[in-house]
Chains A and B, each alone.
Chain A
Amino acid sequence: METTTNIDEAERASLRVTAQYHFGRYVRTGGLVLALAGISAYFTVSSPYFLTKDNLYNILLQSSNIAIVAAGLTVVLVAAEIDLSIGSIEALSGSIAAVLIIRYGLPVGVGIAAALGCSVLAGLISGFFTWKLKVVSFISTLAMLGIAQGIAFLLTNGQAVAGFPNSYKQIGIAEIHGFPGAVVIAIVLFVGLHLMLNRTRLGAHIYAVGGNAESAARAGIRPGMIKLTALMISGLCAGIGGLIVSARLDAGNGLFGANDLLAAVAAVVIGGTSLFGGVGSVMGTAVGVLIITTINNGMVLLNVPDFWQQIVVGCIILAAMVLDQITKAAKLPGALP
C-alpha cells in the first residue's frame, strides 16, 4: 500500500512538472500573440490605413523574406551557433541570380539553382571552419558576412543589375488566390522546418547538440556535423530570401537584403529561441517576425523617420532578453524543444 502511494506521488509530481513546463511555453507564446494584438490595436487606432486589406497584404509580403531568413537562423541558434552572414548571403544570392539571368541570359532555373547552390556553399564553408578548426561560428560567419557581400558587389560592379524576365519576378509578386506567393513559400518552409526540428532524428540531434554538445558527442552524435548541417540550412534559407527580395525589387545588388540580419535576430529572440542553444522553435520565430514587421509598418504609417525603426528594433531585442531573464528566474522555461 505504502509503495503504491509513493508511486502515485512521484508520478503526480512528475506530471505536474511537465504540465508546468508546457504551460510556461504556452504562456510565453500566448503573451507574444497578445503583444502582437496589442501592437496592432494601437496602430489601428493611430492610423486609418493600418487595418486595410492592402496594408495587411503588405505586412505579410514584407514579412516573407525576413521570416525565411529568421527560420534558418532559428535552426542555427537551436544548435548553439549563430549565423551573422544571412543578410550578406541574401544579397549574394540575388546578385548571382541577377548576373546569370540578366547579364548572361541564362535560363531562370539555372540562375536560381546557382544562387541557392552558392548560398548553401557559403553555409557549408562557415560550418566547415566551425567544425574542423573549432572557430566559433560568430567568427566564421562574420568572415562570411564580409566575403559574401564583397562577392555580391564584385559580381554586380557595385550597381543594381536590373531587369529580370517576368517568370523570375513572379517569385516576388505572384499571387495564389489573392494571397502573396512569397508568403506561401515562407509558410511551406516554416512547416517543413518545424517538422524537421520536432519530428525527425536530425531535429532531435540539433536540439541535443545545442543543449549539451559534450553529452551528445558521448552518445555518438557528431556535434560538428550537426552544426555544419544547421549552417547549411540557414544558408539555403538566406538564399531563398535573397531570391524573393531580388524578384520583388527586380534587381540584384550587394545591398539588397543585407539589412535583414538585425530584424531576423530580433524576430528569433522575441520568438523565445535561446541564444545559448537547445531551446527554441520556428513557430515562435514566425510570431516574432510578425511583431517586428508590424511595428516597422506601423511606424512608417505614423511617419516615424526611418532611422528610428532601427533603434526601436534594437530596443526590442534588449527588451526580449530582459523578459527571458525574468521568466527564467521565475522558472518558467520560455520554449520547449
Chain B
Amino acid sequence: MSVAEPVVELRGASKSYGPVRALRDVSLSLHAGEVLGLVGDNGAGKTTLVKCIAGTHRPDSGEIYVDGVPQQTLTPEVARSLGIETVHQNLSLVDTLDVMHNFFLNREIVARGPLGRSVGWLNKSAMYKTTRETLDALGLHLDPRTPVAALSGGQRQMIAVARAITWGSHIVVLDEPAAALGVRQSIQVLSFVRMLSERGIAVLFISHNMQHVLRVTDRIVVLRHGEKVGDLETSKTSAGEIVTLITGSDLVVPGQEDAV
C-alpha cells in the first residue's frame, strides 16, 4: 500500500434525503493505483457516496479531499477537471445520440484553427476514428455511428466503461460496472480495472458480486445503513466475513468494527 497521501479522502461525510440518512459520518481514503471495493446491501449508501465523489451530490457535512485539497464545491465539471471519471449505475448515456457522441460527451474534438475556436466546429472524422480505435482496442466492435438506443444492455454498459477508463486520468469510480454484462465481458471489465490500477489510477469499485470484489480489489469498505462498518484488506478477508458485515449479523456491532 502506498504511503503517499490519498488521492481521494472523505472525512466524516454525511448526507440525508429528508428523514432518510443515506450516509452517516463516513470516512475513507483511496490511494493512487489502489482498487478499493465498496460493498453493502441495497440502500446502504453506496450510490450516494459515489454521487458525492462524482460531484452530482454534495454531502451535508464532512469534507472531500482530492490530492489533499479540500473540495468545497465539487460539481461534475470540477470532478472532471480533477480527472475523476464515473460510471453511474444508470450509465449516464444519452440514448438519442450515437456511440461516438456519447463517447465524446462534453469532450468533443473541435477543428483546429479559427472555425473550431470561434464556433466550436466539430472534427467529426477525428471523433469517429478515435472512438473506433478505442472500442476496437477494448474488443467492442461497433460502428461509432450506431445510436445508443439500439444497443443491448451489455453493449451500453461497455460504452460507459470504455468512456470512463479512457478519460479517467486520476480516479475512476465504477458503480456496478458489470451488472448487465455476460461472463466474458465481466472478466474483461475486471481486467480493465487491473489495467487502470497498473497505470497508477485509483479505482473505486462497487459491486454486489462478491467474487468480482474479492478478485479485483486491494481493500474493501463495507457500508451498512449509511455507516462504514468495515475496512478490510482483501488478502486478509473472506467472502463470509464480508457478507456478515454487510448483513450485520450479531457478531458485528457498529462501533466495534475496528476489532474486525
Contacts and interface: CB of A to CB of B under 8 A. Distances in A.
A15 B144 CA distance: 9
A220 B76 contact: yes
Contacts of A216: 94, 105-106
B110 A207 contact: no
B257 interface: no
Given A218-B86, A219-B105, A220-B77, A212 B95 contact: yes
A204 B108 contact: yes
A219 B95 contact: no
Given A211-B95, A216-B105, A200 B119 contact: yes
Contacts of B149: 333
Interface in A1-24: 7, 10-11, 14-15, 17-18, 20-21
A336 B150 CA distance: 12
A333 B147 contact: yes
A333 B88 CA distance: 27
Contacts of B91: 215
A220 B120 contact: no
Interface string B8-42: 00000000000000000000000000000000000
B72 interface: no
B212 to A, nearest CB: 23
Contact of A7 (B80, B101, B108, B141): B141
B97 interface: yes
A329 B197 CA distance: 45
B220 to A, nearest CB: 26
B145 A18 contact: yes
Interface string B55-87: 010000000000000000001110010000010
B124 A215 contact: no
A329 to B, nearest CB: 14
Contacts of B77: 220, 222
Contacts of A199: 121-122, 124
The interface residues of chain B, by DSSP majority, are classed as loop
Contacts of B209: none
Contacts, number: 108
B92 interface: yes
A214 B92 contact: yes
A201 interface: yes
A200 B122 contact: yes
Interface string A16-45: 011011000000000000000000000000
A218 B146 contact: no
Nearest to B80: A220
A218 B56 contact: yes
A201 B108 contact: yes
A208 B147 contact: no
Contacts of B171: none
A75 to B, nearest CB: 15
Majority DSSP secondary structure for residues of A touching B? helix
Interface in A158-216: 196, 199-202, 204-205, 207-208, 210-212, 214-216
A68 interface: no
A255 B54 CA distance: 50
B146 A207 contact: no
Nearest to A212: B94
Contacts of A18: 98, 143, 145-147, 150
A217 interface: yes
Nearest to B54: A218
A205 B77 CA distance: 14
A150 interface: no
Question: Which of A10, A196, A218 neighbours the largest number of chain B CB atoms within 10 Å of its CB?
Answer: A218
B14 to A, nearest CB: 22
B93 interface: yes
B195 interface: no
A7 B135 CA distance: 12
A10 B141 CA distance: 6
A221 interface: yes
Contact of A219 (B106, B110, B124, B147): B106
B76 A219 contact: yes
B260 interface: no
Given A207-B97, A212-B96, A11 B143 contact: yes
Interface of B: 54, 56, 75-77, 80, 86, 88, 91-98, 101, 105-108, 110, 119-122, 124, 141-143, 145-147, 149-151
Top 5 A-B residue pairs of the complex, sorted by shortest distance between their CB atoms = A201-B120, A211-B96, A278-B96, A220-B77, A211-B94
20 contacts: A14-B142, A14-B146, A18-B98, A21-B146, A21-B147, A199-B122, A201-B122, A204-B97, A204-B122, A205-B106, A207-B96, A212-B95, A215-B92, A215-B93, A215-B105, A218-B88, A220-B80, A333-B147, A336-B98, A337-B96
Given A205-B106, A208-B97, A216-B106, 20 more contacts: A7-B141, A11-B142, A14-B141, A15-B143, A18-B146, A21-B146, A200-B122, A204-B101, A207-B94, A211-B97, A214-B92, A215-B92, A218-B54, A218-B56, A218-B92, A219-B105, A278-B96, A333-B147, A336-B98, A337-B97
